[in-house]
Structure 1
Amino acid sequence: MADDEVATKAPESDAAQQSVFPGDTPAQEGPSMGEHCVTDRPTLAGEKPTGEMTKLGDVDVYITKPSDYPHSPSKLLLFLTGGTGIHSTNNQLQADKYAAEGFLVVMPDQFAGDPAPNSAAELPSPDQNTSWIETVKLRAAETAKSFVIDMWLARHTPEKVLPLLHAVLSSAKDEFADAVANGGGVYAVGYCFGAKYVLMLAGEHTDTMIGGQPKPEDEEAGMVKQGPLIKAGAIAHGTMITKDDVMAVKAPVCMVCVENDSLFPDEVREAGKEALEKAGVEHEIEVYPGVPHGFAVLGDYEDEKIRDAQKRAFGQMLGWLQAH
């Protein structure tokens, strides 16, 4: 897909009907994509990204820095996007907002040049005047859209994504050692698809893929718990998150959630909250009512309530990172 096609696509086009990760439990049931997972949001008028495209660990990244860096101390922030990835203008502008608040932001291409397919075309809903054959065609189109997204998700599992993130983290820690030292570690934010991976990086796992290659002295590779790899994380309207993802979290986390979100169901969120409380992990979970899934990603909305919630969500996530 051409970069200019991705740049205007909604950053949250990444939800699937069920988990396609081997051995994983389904994250949710219901429609594979909601309206706001496939609807483009206009870029805010007059705003243009200020960062640059480069490579870290042989992975394409978008990097944006505070205007006074390196003369003033900064902290390293790993920014994990939704399905549209690093060429989305809205994602880049969102990263720039964190840079303006003192973070050196590294936004990696989690999808190795294969962002989510453009499935944003709206399908009209059948009504009483719709013929039988038209209804069949509409349902077939909906099924085709879901199938395309499901096939895309099957190409981007933890086995593919995590090695890319490890490579970027390793290189970023070397190149921006001053920012890592200043923050006492790496911070992370994740939206939609990226939210799951922030939780994985914030967790303690026996799977060596999560924590990287085991040390030579490890007696049983893969059986030694590793992680977390980040100091603190914040996520917004995650997709494909499982109870196990949240239960493994050990680093402080902030979650911006949407009320009645089929893509991050109440039962998963509540089970995760209970596990965090039981484990004594510092956390903050806020559920935003009356907003669509994907609302926290920068983009223009006509509804003032959604615009206000978007600003409040950014403030919540930023405040959490600054406090840790």
Structure 2
Amino acid sequence: MSCPKCVEGYELPGEPKGSIQAEFQGAYFTAFQSQDASSSGSNTSKRAVVLLTDGFGLPLKNCKVIADKLSTSLECDVWIPDYFQGRPLIPLNAMSGPDKASQKMSILDWIKFIFINGIPSIPAFISSRPSVVDARLASFFALLKEKKPHYEKIGAVGYCYGGSAVIRLASTSSIHSVVVCHPGQFSMKEVRQMKVPSSWACPEEAIFAARKDKPEFVEYEFKDYPGTQHGFAARPNLAYPEIVEAHEKALEQTISWFKKTLVVG
């Protein structure tokens, strides 16, 4: 967790329509069924999106609600791997909401964050440190490749902790495009190693602009959402229309980017 905003948020309306898949390491799966699918219900989706959650993991239904919306809008399968293996970084009952949409973080906020959420979460962070998470994701993508060989293109979208993981994932051969939403901690070295098109729902543009005329250049876009804070794309404050609007626009950004970069024959 990079700041106190990591534990703030609200539940999105709606109920998940997908299911947990035990054979895929407990991942959540929401399927797209094309109109020409056979009566047996076989899936013909040629592309898929993998959603990497924030620190609340699968227990917070927001990620599932978003996955369902992505599946419908993109007409493809969407997966949410349980890359915390049943032990999210933040317990669902620890989620809190700020009094105001523009609430600033005071020294007292940081102290509370460290002692109430930071220190108790250390064991979970150790068990799901980046190197461990990356190995789990490699295993998941290998399983996906084995069990779902019909996927021609795979995209990944990550929020907060998942946003950091997506940045690292973008340097591998597992995916073809990424969307990064208000990521947690990451290094400029990791950004330089990204080799697939990326769309960012946060301002971190300079390093990509420097690569524009170089051989290693990859397509990218950045969209800034003024008046928002860390977590808005995954856990928006529903009491403020402008925050909800920013959340919806970030989701539209994700959908538009994958429609553009996950084109299959």
Match of 1:166 in 2: 138
Structure 2 counterpart SS, 1:77? strand
Matched, 1:104 2:77: yes
Q: Contact 2:89/2:121 (CA < 8 Å) preserved in 1?
A: yes
Question: Unaligned stretches of 5+ in structure 2?
Answer: 100-107
Classify 1:142/1:315 alpha carbon distance in 2 versus 1 (closer, same or farther; 3 Å): closer
Matched to 2:17, the amino acid is: T
Match of 1:144 in 2: 115
Question: Unaligned stretches of 5+ in structure 1?
Answer: 1-14, 17-31, 125-136, 204-226, 259-268
Alpha-carbon distance between aligned partners in 1 of 2:110 and 2:62, rounded to the nearest angstrom:
31
Matched, 1:78 2:50: yes
Percent of aligned pairs with the same amino acid: 24
Q: How does 1:1-324 map to 2 (within 5 A)?
A: 15-16=1-2, 32-34=3-5, 37-44=6-13, 47-56=14-23, 59-68=25-34, 70=42, 73-101=45-73, 102-118=75-91, 119-120=94-95, 141-145=112-116, 146-178=118-150, 180-181=151-152, 185-203=153-171, 227-257=172-202, 269-277=204-212, 278=214, 279-297=216-234, 299=236, 301-324=238-261
Alpha-carbon distance between aligned partners in 2 of 1:188 and 1:310, rounded to the nearest angstrom:
18
Matched to 2:241, the amino acid is: E
Classify 1:72/1:54 alpha carbon distance in 2 versus 1 (closer, same or farther; 3 Å): closer
Alpha-carbon distance between aligned partners in 1 of 2:85 and 2:32, rounded to the nearest angstrom:
26
Q: Contact 2:16/2:61 (CA < 8 Å) preserved in 1?
A: yes
TM-score in terms of structure 1 length:
0.67
Q: Contact 2:225/2:246 (CA < 8 Å) preserved in 1?
A: yes
Matched to 1:60, the amino acid is: G
Alpha-carbon distance between aligned partners in 2 of 1:299 and 1:112, rounded to the nearest angstrom:
25
Structure 1 counterpart SS, 2:67? helix
Question: Residues 74-115 of structure 1, C-alpha deviation per residue, up to 9 Å, x if partnerless?
Answer: 411111111111222111101111111212111101111110
Alpha-carbon distance between aligned partners in 2 of 1:187 and 1:122, rounded to the nearest angstrom:
31
Classify 1:170/1:56 alpha carbon distance in 2 versus 1 (closer, same or farther; 3 Å): farther
Q: Alpha-carbon deviation of 1:257?
A: 0.9
Classify 1:71/1:110 alpha carbon distance in 2 versus 1 (closer, same or farther; 3 Å): closer
Matched to 2:79, the amino acid is: V
TM-score in terms of structure 2 length:
0.81
Q: Contact 1:56/1:171 (CA < 8 Å) preserved in 2?
A: no
Alpha-carbon distance between aligned partners in 2 of 1:250 and 1:122, rounded to the nearest angstrom:
36
Q: Contact 1:79/1:106 (CA < 8 Å) preserved in 2?
A: yes
